[in-house]
Amino acid sequence: MDSLFDAARRDQLLSRIERLRPDSQRAWGKMDAAQALAHCALALEAATGDAKLFRSLPARLIGWLFKGMLLNDKPFAKNAPTHPLLVASAPADFERERKRLIAALTKFHSAGPAAAARYEHALVGKLTGDEWGRMQFKHLDHHLRQFGV
């Protein structure tokens, strides 16, 4: 499975992020392109320790049930639910959020799997570095496909 720790896959995503435009139309969901960039940046910041997402009691009790869905080869479903703190509903500055996402993606990739493994996922809890890399690739790919890039 593709991983954000693979340099070729990282470069592919960076190229797609560069092709995204402020007026790119979404195929599903509620976020505009700037909000999607902010959403993806925050998800990566949680995987580098730069953001802390609260892990609720229900997530602690049943989150493990969703781990396979997050890590399999099947793309995420359109309009899938997200962690409440990851919902981007406020207006966002497109170029600022693009730079933020690129910085977070670069930091995540450069830090490597061992660094990512130190952080818990807000839904499923403990992940290996390899699992973080696969899930973050899948998440970014999902949102870039949402906007046709």
Give the per-residue pLDDT at 69: 83
Give the per-residue pLDDT at 84: 74
Task: Kindly tell me if the per-residue pLDDT of 3 is higher than 80.
Answer: yes
Residues 5-36: tens digit of each pLDDT: 999 999 999 999 999 999 999 999 999 999 99
| Average pLDDT score, the chain | 93
With cut-offs at 50, 70 and 90, classify the pLDDT of residue 140.
very high
| Structure-token match 């505009």, residue found | 32
Rounded mean pLDDT, 107-124: 95
Q: Are 56 and 85 in contact (CB under 8 A)?
A: no
Rounded mean pLDDT, 100-125: 95
Phi, psi of 120 (to 5 degrees): -85, 145
Give the per-residue pLDDT at 63: 80
Residues 67-93: tens digit of each pLDDT: 888 889 998 889 887 877 788 888 999
Contacts by residues 92-100 (CB-CB < 8 Å, ≥ 24 positions apart): 92/32, 92/34, 92/35, 92/37, 92/38, 93/34, 94/22, 94/33, 94/34, 94/37, 97/34, 97/35, 97/37, 97/38, 97/41, 98/17, 98/20, 98/37, 100/37, 100/38, 100/41
Give the per-residue pLDDT at 89: 83
Give the per-residue pLDDT at 96: 98
Residues 32-81: tens digit of each pLDDT: 999 999 999 999 999 999 998 888 787 778 888 788 888 899 988 898 87
